[in-house]
Structure 1
Amino acid sequence: MSNAALSVITSDPPEKWQEILADLITDPKELTEILQLDSNQGSDSLLAQSGLDRFSLKVPRPFARRMQPGKWDDPLLRQVWPSQLEEEVDSSLSEDPLQERSFNQAQGLLQKYRGRVLLTAAPHCAVHCRYCFRRHFDYATNTPGKQQWQETLGQIGRDSSISEVILSGGDPLAAGDNYLNWLLTQIDTLRQITTIRIHTRLPVVIPQRITRSLCQTLASLNSKLVIVIHCNHGQEIDSSVQLAMQKLRATGATLMNQSVLLKGINDDAACLVSLSHKLFDMNVLPYYLHLPDRVAGTGHFLVDEQEGLNLITEIRALLPGYLVPRLVREDPGSDSKTRLG
């Protein structure tokens, strides 16, 4: 690790990320009380218990502290609130819209595109985003132990066409430092791997997760490191997130962001322009703006393609090109994401 990194990462935050992860808000009533929300004003009806049993409420307290008290339309709250709208039946939506089951080549391994593979490095997240495209994913059969990982990594090592390994989940940073150090080191020793990419929402929802130990592991890798954070709205960014990004940047990682375009949350040019500026202030490049995947239970978040194109046209007139995210859609079976604008 460089001297610059050491000067930034002098110590871990006083709040331990493991304690925060163990103390998530899981009761909708508690969340409404914390945010002083009037249940008679402006709320979507709460999802029935059967729906919560399938996909529970999970909100980290640091993330909840960035929500505006008294506002049901708060953009952060809307991302996590379990609404009765999730029960609406729409035959155009699917539990597996990206057909990931067909790309699940081994336990914990998906290969959708040539040259790179995705590993589900952890089966859980710190937050349950209600628009999640893997809310129905079969993690029970995709959570390998070390022996199975070694077999999977051996399979990757025998395929010379693979040069990039992507850690996803769940959220890979929901795993502990020791486990991640072991897994990343194993990947880094594969001779043909030139790039390791990590997709994570943890630095945004629990920025305390970016520990000195984790940063030491990341900085020690010989492979190029790309970290893609998931941030949808500028309100998600506060000083603790800025510090987490500073620490990650100090490891030598390239930092990017991908957002999901969500109805009633960030489907507004001014909102997306503000997000791009805030990201770039942290040396994070706004890379992708995804149209929502057509996942069962998420119809109320969907934004149509033409609206997305109109927004990108507006944004392009307001920002330099490097701050305009690529509007994309994922089509199962395609060679890459489909760029729309």
Structure 2
Amino acid sequence: MSGVPVPIRDADALARAGLVAPERLDAIRRVAERYAVGVTGDVAALIEHPDDPMGLQFVPRAEELETEAEERADPIGDAAHAPVPGIVHRYPDRVLLKPLHVCPVYCRFCFRREMVGPDGLGTLSAAEFDTALDYVRDHPAIWEVVVTGGDPFLLSPRRLRAIAEALAAIPHVRVLRVHTRVPVVSPALVTPELAAALRAFGGAAFVALHANHAREFTPQAEAAIARLVDAGVPMVSQSVLLRGVNDTAEAMEALMRRFTENRVKPYYLHQGDLAPGTSHLRVPLAEGRALMRRLRGQLSGLAQPTYVLDIPGGHGKVPVGPAYLERDGEAWRVEDPQGTLHPYPPPAGDASVD
């Protein structure tokens, strides 16, 4: 939408921008009292109406006030694995480091929606950050640190460089990964100085870019991605499977192609977490698996993400895509992308080739 006042941070600003109908405003005000609202100018320009793939991601809806019995404030169990402020240690060889809890936009499906926002916990204090680093230093099995939040790309390049240099000084930390939505929602923030700050890690520093629809790849977003990749920062993707956004094979194929064409390796497609008020966007697992099966037959392996579910309660992330292999006595049967089963190993004397 053009001429939108930005940034949009409350229900009334959404209404002034034409993104909330007057008869819905009271309900959206109630949503905004509970969950943060944030839409950048770059995102607002892409929203044609509240029910399009961009509006569904960022414009609050009254359905968010409806909490299903299975939904929970901490759907993936971060709190159970948070030994000190700013650290989540769920897997032996990696930790999450959360230096801030604010974002440039607030996704309506966010699994941390009870924790993030302008009125949330803000940034770690200097003392809390030192405590978090001490925790990493004291656990030599930690090989990778995933900097997340909030969105770390809202930090200044100076602050991001300080984090990269501090982690680089810990000998057993060999991989740095930064999760962000900034390149597609506020691409001007991706400056050469920010890219240089990541390279200050000196080793394997990756950026995981969150995008959910091909329309997010504007020329400005593609230029921001290029500034990172051309500076020597490899990128991988993460997306969430969302009703009305990317739950068709055509939409998902277009999204994964855009990632790949922009030198972002497709990595994770997340099943929607059981966050409160998000059931209207969640896609059943059976539909997600069928979608991934269709992609396998028509999309390059280079562009295939791994479909994963973060088990509620903090039990870890596992692949939940379709299976292609089944036992057949002492042998196996393998299904091809068209759905035909084949014995493996083939019967003796079968000389057929593809």
TM range (shorter): 0.7 to 0.9
C-alpha displacement of 1:299: 1.1
Secondary structure of residue in 1 paired with 2:267: strand
Q: Say whether residues 1:50 and 2:30 are aligned partners.
A: yes
Instruction: State the match for 1:150 in structure 2.
Output: 130
Change (3 A) 1:268 1:134: same
Normalised TM-score (structure 2): 0.83
Letter in 2 for 1:293: D
Secondary structure of residue in 2 paired with 1:47: helix
Gaps of 5+ in 1: 1-21
Measured in 2, the distance between the counterparts of 1:314 and 1:44 equals: 38
Measured in 2, the distance between the counterparts of 1:300 and 1:38 equals: 18
Letter in 2 for 1:95: A
Q: Say whether residues 1:294 and 2:277 are aligned partners.
A: no
Change (3 A) 1:53 1:131: same
- The equivalences for 1:134-145 within 5 A come to 134-137=112-115, 143-145=123-125
Instruction: State the match for 1:65 in structure 2.
Output: 45
Overall identity of the aligned pairs, in %: 29
Change (3 A) 1:138 1:82: closer
Letter in 2 for 1:31: L
Change (3 A) 1:48 1:65: closer
C-alpha displacement of 1:53: 1.5
Instruction: State the match for 2:318 in structure 1.
Output: 338
Change (3 A) 1:138 1:254: closer
Change (3 A) 1:294 1:48: same
C-alpha displacement of 1:286: 1.3
Change (3 A) 1:45 1:289: farther
Residues 119-160 of structure 1, C-alpha deviations (whole Å, 9 max, x = no match): 112110000101000011278568422232122212211211
Instruction: State the match for 1:74 in structure 2.
Output: 52
Secondary structure of residue in 2 paired with 1:105: coil
Choose 1 or 2 for highest CA Rg: 2
Change (3 A) 1:180 1:37: closer
Paired residues of 2:84 and 2:131 also in contact (CA < 8 A): no
Paired residues of 2:76 and 2:314 also in contact (CA < 8 A): no
In the alignment of these two chains, the number of paired residues is 315
Instruction: State the match for 2:298 in structure 1.
Output: 318
Instruction: State the match for 2:99 in structure 1.
Output: 121
Instruction: State the match for 2:327 in structure 1.
Output: none
Gaps of 5+ in 2: 322-354
Paired residues of 1:120 and 1:142 also in contact (CA < 8 A): no
Relative contact order higher in (CA < 8 Å, ≥ 6 apart): 1
Measured in 2, the distance between the counterparts of 1:76 and 1:101 equals: 30
Measured in 1, the distance between the counterparts of 2:199 and 2:205 equals: 9
C-alpha displacement of 1:336: 4.2
Normalised TM-score (structure 1): 0.86
